[in-house]
Amino acid sequence: MRAMLLEAPGRALRLVDLPVPKPNPEQLLIRVHACAVCRTDLHIVDGELAHPKLPLIPGHQIVGTVEAVGEKVKFFHPDRNSGESVPERLRVGVPWLGRTCNHCRYCLSGRENLCDRAEFTGYNLDGGYAEYAVADYRYCFEIPPGYPDVQAAPLLCGGLIGYRAYRMTGDAEKIGFYGFGSSAHILIQLARYQGRQIFAFTRSGDVKGQEFARQLGAVWSGSSEELPPEPLDAAIIFAPIGKLIPAALRAVAKGGVVVCAGIHMSDIPSFPYEILWEERILRSVANLTRRDGEEFLALAPKVPIRTQINLFPLSQANEALNALRNGEIEGSAVLFTQEDKQ
């Protein structure tokens, strides 16, 4: 199979020919149709996340069809352990959470996203920048019908982990989004469906991004250096920039929450206690639970959430990553394997 391989952090991915992987007893062999590109992929390729598997096939927003199953696979979904076999060519999605231990104190308390021994797709495990991938069936999701493969792929991280961050804003009515990329363009659709108002903050001078946010229904958009026209109930920081934390704390009202949605961020500058005072809350969100995924993928078709995608053939993964790095992607970047462009 063709795959894009990371051999060392800081180096471009290399197009290679590898044997198709064999599923272990608990894995599905998946023919990859699409794999969306996440900012986390960029952090891994750039060496900002420590100790990736090497060499590594990146990519953790995989959509494909089941080609073969390991002998212990009952049904790919954990709640449907009826002993049914997997329907032929079932369409599945593989997210960032690839495997958990099921017996640490986090796993046992409904917080498998924090599992001590979690393994992540496209980081500790090979991912979806390839024509085939294997994945533990218990962590895969069924893709809702009505979504073409390439449209569904960004839901698997931009959507799922974005949803976890969004949920942490509780019943906030006015929410600021700092950074308006893949996650934000998905979550604004859910927020509007639920009657909330989104205020979009982008790099100063990013007129296109600000316009894109307004097209998707943001009530206000502007530079992250500005204050919103009125105090917000909550803010989510999607961009990996530490100085946005004091900016967001200044933008939220008393009791407001600021959620950091990314896995990596530049250092946070010091800030006066008074902008945290009055019960403002600052928190991060790490990874996802399977429950987040189930909930979000059930909601997405109801809205219905539509992703805006920028397609790249698999062999142009480096170009896709560079476009993301340079802020050239409106919506989500998605890799497809030749005949699957839809």
- Give the footprint of Zn ion on this chain (CB under 5 A): 38, 40, 100-101, 104, 107, 115, 157
- Least distance (Å) between residue 279 CB and Zn ion: 31
Contacts for 338 with CB less than 8 Å, ≥ 6 apart: 313, 314
- Would strands 281-284 and 252-260 be described as parallel, antiparallel, or unpaired? parallel
- Least distance (Å) between residue 325 CB and Zn ion: 15
Amino acid identity, position 19? P
Nearest to Zn ion of 157, 275 (CB atom): 157
- Least distance (Å) between residue 271 CB and Zn ion: 28
Cα(270)–Cα(82) distance, integer angstroms: 54
Asked if 5 and 57 count as a contact pair (C-beta separation under 8 A), the reply is yes
Q: Tokens 């894009």, residue?
A: 4
Asked if 230 and 206 count as a contact pair (C-beta separation under 8 A), the reply is no
Nearest to Zn ion of 140, 157 (CB atom): 157
Nearest to Zn ion of 139, 220 (CB atom): 139
Cα(127)–Cα(133) distance, integer angstroms: 6
- Least distance (Å) between residue 16 CB and Zn ion: 23
Nearest to Zn ion of 38, 324 (CB atom): 38
Nearest to Zn ion of 40, 307 (CB atom): 40
- From the list 107, 164, 172, 144, the residue with the least C-alpha distance to 303 is 144
Cα(149)–Cα(62) distance, integer angstroms: 9
- Least distance (Å) between residue 230 CB and Zn ion: 32
In eight-state DSSP terms, residue 339 is: G
Nearest to Zn ion of 11, 264 (CB atom): 264
- Least distance (Å) between residue 111 CB and Zn ion: 9
User: CA angle at residue 65 from 63 to 69, to 5 degrees?
Assistant: 120
Asked if 293 and 95 count as a contact pair (C-beta separation under 8 A), the reply is yes
